[in-house]
Amino acid sequence: MIIDKKDELDLIKLDRSFYSKNAVRLSKDLLGKYLVHSVNGKELIGKIVEVEAYMGIGDKAAHSYNGRRTTRTEVMYGEEGHAYVYLIYGMYHCLNVVAAKEGIAQAVLVRALEPIDGLENMSCNRYGKALEELKKGQIINLTNGPGKLCKAFNITKDYNGEDLTGNRLFICENRSFKEDYHIVETKRIGIDYAEEAKYFPWRFYIKDNPYVSVI
């Protein structure tokens, strides 16, 4: 059983300047940071353990490839440090972090989290069950995928455009200690349509973390 680890943390919210870098650099820097959803006086916290970079105009896997601009993707062309949330397969939400600078349209997909605090609420959101009713495999599966983590954290399209330097959905670093881990770089998942871009090594995850979606 997971033990909530919030007491080990001294979290400080990341400011806008943190996000002012290209999506590949931001992807690596986001690993080990903490996603926080604060709602109704309660916090859900998860450590980011897996991400993918989408590099915009020249990346055939990106929604903004070749300068494509739609109502859905407009937030990617805006200020860095905002959430880009979209629906896939008509049922699963995906959370992305807008990178770079305004007009560049790059983003980082958050693929997996290690659940840290608020697991009871995550369990109810994800499975409709109390945490104590879950099997070990269900706990591992709480947040080990982009759709899973959005359901566990109750992140919907209502959060598209959310300012990640605000007070509802935000990302923090831990000031109490700097974790030492190895970053694995590999190709992204589920983008066979992207021709040569499907081979770009722009998926990053923390080696040996059990909450990574696919090893």
The pLDDT tens digits for 117-159 are 999 999 999 999 999 999 999 999 999 999 999 999 999 999 9
Q: What kind of architecture, by CATH, is found in domain 6-203?
A: Roll (3.10)
Instruction: Catalogue the long-range contacts made by 74-77 (C-beta closer than 8 Å, 24 or more residues apart).
Output: 75/160, 75/161, 76/105, 76/106, 76/107, 77/102, 77/103, 77/104, 77/105
Q: How many other β-carbons are positioned within 10 Å of the β-carbon of residue 17?
A: 10
Q: What is the pLDDT of residue 2?
A: 46
Give me the sign of the Cα torsion angle 77, 108, 88, 158: negative
5 — pLDDT class (breaks 50, 70, 90): low
- Is pLDDT above 60 for 3? no
Spatial CA neighbour of 22 closest among 66, 54, 57, 59: 54
Residue 10: both structure tokens together: 């001294």
Give the separation between CA 160 and CA 213, rounded to whole angstroms.
23
Residues listed for the chain:
215
Contact partners, residue 56, CB within 8 Å, separation at least 6? 23, 62, 64, 65, 76, 100, 104, 105, 106
Q: Are 99 and 90 in contact, with CB atoms under 8 Å apart?
A: no
Taking residues 190-201, what's their average pLDDT?
Answer: 97
Place of tokens 């002012």: 20
Q: What is the pTM of this model?
A: 0.95
**Separation CA 144–CA 159 (nearest Å):** 20
| Mean pLDDT along residues 170-196 | 94
Is the predicted pLDDT of residue 196 greater than 50, yes or no? yes
State the average pLDDT over residues 7-14: 88
Confidence label for 215 from pLDDT (cuts 50, 70 and 90): low
Which pLDDT band, with edges at 50, 70 and 90, does 177 fall under?
Answer: confident
In the chain, % of residues over pLDDT 70: 96
pLDDT digits (tens, 9 = 90+) for 31-40: 999 999 998 8
Q: Which two tokens stand for residue 85?
A: 């949330």
The string of pLDDT tens digits covering residues 41-100 is 899 999 999 999 999 999 999 999 999 999 989 999 999 999 999 999 888 999 999 999
